[in-house]
Every structure is written in C-alpha cells, then in structure tokens.
Chains A and B, each alone.
Chain A
Amino acid sequence: MREALDHWIFVFASYALGVGGTLALVAWSWIGMKRAERRRDKARGK
C-alpha cells in the first residue's frame, strides 16, 4: 500500500535549501570579493 506523504514538507525543504544556499553563496562571494579588493587597494597604498 502506498503511504500518504505530505508533499509540502518536501517542497518547503527544497525551497529552504535552494533559497538559503543561494543567498549564502551570493553573500560569501560578495564578501570575499570586497575583502580581496580592499587587500589589493591596501597593498597599492590607496
């Protein structure tokens, strides 16, 4: 017999993973870029 599953649990888990992961990736890349550019400007003596 096929068990009845609440599909919304799987939907919400997928959206949380997709949205949370994407935002974390964007934030990590942005912060990394800003930090690297600050380090370069400091090395240039700006």
Chain B
Amino acid sequence: MHGFANPARFLRIARVLTVPFLVAGLLLTGASLYYGLVYAPPERLQGDSVRILFIHVPAAWLGMAGWSGIAVASFVELVWRHPLAGIGARAAAVPGAFFAFLCLATGSLWGRPAWGTWWVWDGRLTSVLVLLFLYFGYIALAGASAREGGGSRIAAIFGLVGAVNIPIIHYSVLWWNSLHQPPSLTTGGSTMAGPFLWGLMAATLGFTLIFGGVVLARMRAILADVQAEARLRRKAEGA
C-alpha cells in the first residue's frame, strides 16, 4: 500500500483511470436509470413510485461508503502518515455529502406516496440526516486546515469519530420501530424480485464508478493545487 504513497505514481494511475471510471459510470448509470424509468414493472403495493429505488439505494450506499472511505483514509493518515490518505479523505467528502443529500431527498420523495408523509423523525432518517451534517462539518474542518496550511489531523480524528454513525444507520431499522423497511439485500441473500434486483445492481455499480471517477478527479485537483503552491513559494523565496 505504501507504494501508492508516492504522489507521482498515484498521478500516473489516476490519469489512466479517471476518464474510464467516469465514462463507464455515466453509461451504466444512464442505461440502468432508463431501464428503471421505462422497463421496470410497477410494484404490487408501491406502484410506479418503486422506480425511485434505482436512485435512492445507490445514493444511500454511496453516502455511507463515502464516510467509511473517509474513516479508513483518516485511520491510515493518523497511523502511517500516508501522504495521500488525507487528500483521498478530503476528495471523498463532497461527493459523499451529495449522495447523502440525494438519499434524503429521494427518500422524502418516495415517502410521500409510499408512507403518506415526507418525513418522520425515526432512527433511519434521523441518522442519515446526522451523516449529512457530519459531512458538512468535515468539509468545513478539512477546508480550514488546508487554508491555514496545517495538517489535517483534526479532520482525520473527526472522520474516524464520525464513523460511529455508520453502524447506527445500518442497524437503525432493526433496533427501532421505523416506517422504513428492513434491508432487502443482505449477505444472506435478497428479498427483491429479479427485475428490480439486476437493475438496482447495475445502477449501484454505475453510480459507484462515477463516485470513484469524481474522487480521483478531486484528488488530482488537490494534488495539483499543492504542487502549484509549492512551486510558487519556491519561486518567491528564490526571487
């Protein structure tokens, strides 16, 4: 893993992967959303509103995966001082926040026809809202650390501590009474019908590829900024 700690090596790999990730992700997502909108059958109880599944579930997965990535990167940064780990965590924060927001917004749009309400203060919805606020806090903290030229140690500790919310989100529908359904997809199998399951898996893979491409692009941007700052500083000192 330490082999990737070299920014030059990372940049070589990232330059190769960014465009294929984004293009494959956009194509796969576009195809699966078209399927969800046009070909997927209406569900027996939920009718056509079930089509929101193809956006809501990938958004929920990426909102949680984004913070899990931040937590792992923060751990690596704190323990091994991996120079790219902090940059990776910072790069994942904005897309993670976007998908957490998308999960809440599409969940609310799904809740109105399915439950008869836009919002309930139950364990699942509230813990995802907390996740969105954690993202806002992390973005502000990491941005302030970067502007002041200091390390991102405090942001990394925040990233690690915030990870306590991830199992709470996951188990909230089992621990507390909720309008939200329990998990349909587990390691033990799926309770979902085939036409929904395969479309959902394609959409999830597509959105995940987009997420990966966006994180790579944002890491390249942060690295380029750091390199430009360093070069300009050296020039100013030499003048």
A14-B110, A43-B232 known; A26-B214 Cβ under 8 A: yes
A37 to B225, CA, bound (A): 8
Check A11 against B214 for contact (C-beta < 8 Å): no
A5 to B29, CA, bound (A): 28
What A residues does B112 contact at CB under 8 A?
A: 5, 10
Q: 1/0 per residue B108-128: CB within 8 Å of A?
A: 011011001000000000000
Which parts of A16-34 form the interface with B (CB within 8 Å)?
17-19, 21-22, 25-26, 29-30, 32-33
Interface size class of A (residues with CB under 8 A): 20 to 34
Check A40 against B49 for contact (C-beta < 8 Å): no
Of the listed stretches B50-58, B68-76, B143-151, name the one at the interface; the rest are far from the partner chain.
Answer: B50-58
Interface membership of B224, Cβ < 8 A? yes
- Nearest CB in chain A: distance from B30 CB, A: 8
Neighbour of A7 across the interface among B47, B94, B217, CB < 8 A? B47
Listed in ascending order, the chain B residues whose CB lies under 8 Å from chain A are: 18, 22, 26, 29, 33, 37, 47-49, 51-52, 55-56, 59, 94-95, 98, 101-102, 105-106, 109-110, 112-113, 116, 207, 210, 213-214, 217-218, 220-222, 224-225, 227-228, 231-232, 235
Across the A-B interface, the 9 shortest Cβ-Cβ residue pairs = A36-B224, A18-B55, A43-B231, A7-B48, A36-B221, A40-B228, A7-B49, A40-B224, A33-B221
15 A-B residue contacts at CB 8 Å?
A10-B109, A10-B110, A13-B109, A15-B37, A15-B51, A18-B59, A26-B26, A26-B213, A29-B214, A33-B221, A33-B224, A36-B221, A40-B231, A42-B228, A43-B235
Listed in ascending order, the chain A residues whose CB lies under 8 Å from chain B are: 2, 5, 7-8, 10-11, 13-15, 17-19, 21-22, 25-26, 29-30, 32-33, 35-37, 39-40, 42-44
